[in-house]
């Protein structure tokens, strides 16, 4: 549950333990067969550590979780952030290798940069670049990517929440190392969230119109089904609202606030657009 996400310090310490056991970001650079073994181990640990909770009571949010294949837990274990974070990234790699991708190398680097941030060392340079070709026009593949990409966006969003959760206190205590670390982490994760949205939309427009969009209409889902119904997005937006005065108090000449503000994702791949991003990737803006 996004409102139960632990702070960045405990999450990083838990991530460092996993990395020391060979279950850190470097697994993203392995072969597909090796990644499958690691994914199974990560899933087993997650199931043991965080049994599924009762789910979300709000019917619209529950409908979104059901549609995208999300299971919620009431656990506040720090590893409950890192484990699904890596699982979602492994799924994206598999999907890209199976169905191709038009994302340029810079987008892939941004997509995976947050993995290093959450696993203890603060290294945001890790960015495996899959050797993939043009994105498949297959309708089934488009729907799989739509769901896979959204799950990635959800876990990266929870990473941003983790990074910012202790920022207000750090600023009030003039704790410069913690403040700078939180802002840098949030910036890297925000760039990853934006790249996740572009990956989510990386398939032909006709597949969206013919397959993806109809799947999000009644009777399969409630009327007005939208990504903004998701609890992860809602909690993050509320956090941004509460943190507004804190952000405004930070002098960009002294604190790395501008990089975070520039990196914040401001769109959701909810509707199909014909725009082309600066790096050439297809985008959908809401």
Q: Which of 201, 227, 223, 64 is nearest to 146 (CA)?
A: 201
| Cα 82 to Cα 183: distance, rounded to the nearest angstrom | 19
| pTM assigned to the model | 0.88
d(CA 192, CA 134): 21
Tens of pLDDT, residues 119-169: 865 555 555 667 777 888 888 899 999 999 999 999 999 999 999 988 989
CA torsion sign, 87 to 68 to 197 to 130?
positive
pLDDT tens digit sequence for 167-200: 989 999 989 999 999 999 999 999 999 999 999 9
Whether residue 226 has pLDDT greater than 60? yes
Q: What is the pLDDT of residues 72-126, one digit of tens each?
A: 888 899 999 999 999 999 999 999 999 999 888 888 888 888 887 888 655 555 5
């Amino acid at each position: 549950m996004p409102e139960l996400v632990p702070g960045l310090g405990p999450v990083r310490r838990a991530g460092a333990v996993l990395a020391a056991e060979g279950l850190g970001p470097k697994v993203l650079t392995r072969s597909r067969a090796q990644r499958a073994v690691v994914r199974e181990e990560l899933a087993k640990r997650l199931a043991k550590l965080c049994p599924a909770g009762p789910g979300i009571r709000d019917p619209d949010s529950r409908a979104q979780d059901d549609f995208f294949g999300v299971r919620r837990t009431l656990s506040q274990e720090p590893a409950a952030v890192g484990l699904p974070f890596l699982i979602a990234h492994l799924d994206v790699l598999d999907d890209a290798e199976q169905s191709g991708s038009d994302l340029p190398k810079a987008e892939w680097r941004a997509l995976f940069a947050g993995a290093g941030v959450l696993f203890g060392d603060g290294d945001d340079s890790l960015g495996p670049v899959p050797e993939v070709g043009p994105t498949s026009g297959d309708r089934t593949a488009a729907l799989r990517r739509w769901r896979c990409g959204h799950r990635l966006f959800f876990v990266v969003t929870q990473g941003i929440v983790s990074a910012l959760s202790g920022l207000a206190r750090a600023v009030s205590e003039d704790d410069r190392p913690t403040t700078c670390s939180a802002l840098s982490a949030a910036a890297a994760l925000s760039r990853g969230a934006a790249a996740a949205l572009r990956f989510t939309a990386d398939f032909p427009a006709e597949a969206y119109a013919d397959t993806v969009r109809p799947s999000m209409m009644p009777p399969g889902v409630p009327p007005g089904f939208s990504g903004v119904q998701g609890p992860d997005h809602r909690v993050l937006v509320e956090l941004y609202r509460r943190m507004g005065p804190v952000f405004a108090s930070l002098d960009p000449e002294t604190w790395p606030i501008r990089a975070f503000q520039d990196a914040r994702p401001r769109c959701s791949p909810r509707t199909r657009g014909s725009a082309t991003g600066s790096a050439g990737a297809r985008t959908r803006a809401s």
